[in-house]
Homo-oligomer: A and B are copies of this chain.
């Protein structure tokens, strides 16, 4: 049985260290996620995050360069999860309007319902903060917008609108994002918190798909 050099004591120690590092980092992020969603980013102090994560303030600053960095990292993780979920759903339905509908449903029923903390951070806490965070938020939404743009372009193509007008495409994308942003927020923390999400999703998808197809149609005949 050949002995791999990656199994040397030093290597194993290094690996364990790395695992522990990631674990610690993860604890801090989880603590921050919970608190930011609960009490808001501004009202959560670094000390509180450290306390909940059961580490010292210094340790937080060992893993993150400042408070904004924590939020930025959360945003990155969350956006990664969301994009994965949406992309998968979209692909399942073969790049059709229906696929966009599925993705939207998944966002509301899979993501927002199941990870309200994450959803809140994405939708509420990341807005209106210091420029560093705002930067990241912009980046996240640009990524999401990019995904959506690709999706809509494909759909447009399949439908027979080979080169959709740029403004129309942008409006469709932003409109779609806006629909979800608001609806998710409204049914997560707003007045209507607690409503059955699957019913909400059904109507939201009608709205979205109706809106999109109208825009596309208008640019087909035009």
Residues of chain A whose beta carbon lies under 8 Å from any beta carbon of chain B: 40-43, 124-130, 138, 142, 165, 167-168, 170-172, 174-175, 177-183, 186, 190-192, 195-196, 199-200, 203-204, 206-215, 217-218
CA A39 to CA B130, docked complex, whole Å: 9
Given A180-B178, A183-B174, A186-B170, CB of A130 within 8 Å of CB of B191: no
* Docked complex Cα distance between A47 and B115 (Å): 39
- A186 lies within 8 A of B203 (CB): no
Q: Is A210's CB under 8 angstroms from B203's CB?
A: no
Please determine whether B191 and A215 come into contact, CB atoms closer than 8 angstroms: no
Query: Main SS of chain A's interface residues?
Result: helix
Verify B130–A128 contact, CB threshold 8 A: no
Q: How far is the CA of A177 from the CA of B168 in the complex (A)?
A: 18
| Chain B min CB distance to A124 (Å) | 5
Docked Cα-Cα span, A167 to B186, in Å, equals 12
By a CB distance below 8 angstroms, the chain B residues around A128 are 40-42, 124-129
Evaluate contact between B125 and A190: CB separation under 8 angstroms. no
Q: How many angstroms between the C-alpha atoms of A191 and B181 in the bound complex? A: 18
6 sample A-B contacts, Cβ–Cβ < 8 Å, listed by A number: A174-B183, A177-B178, A177-B182, A178-B178, A178-B182, A209-B214
Q: Is there contact, CB below 8 Å, between B43 and A199?
A: no
Q: How far is the CA of A182 from the CA of B212 in the complex (A)?
A: 15
Q: Quick one: closest B residue to A123, CB to CB?
A: B127
- Inter-chain contacts of A126 with B (CB < 8 A): 128
A215 to B183, CA, bound (A): 14
A100: shortest Cβ distance to chain B, in Å? 13
Rounded to whole Å, the gap between the CB of A62 and the closest CB of chain B is 11
Say whether B206 contacts A210, CB under 8 Å: no
Closest 3 CB pairs of A and B: A210-B214, A178-B182, A211-B211
C-alpha spacing A181/B207, complex, angstroms:
16
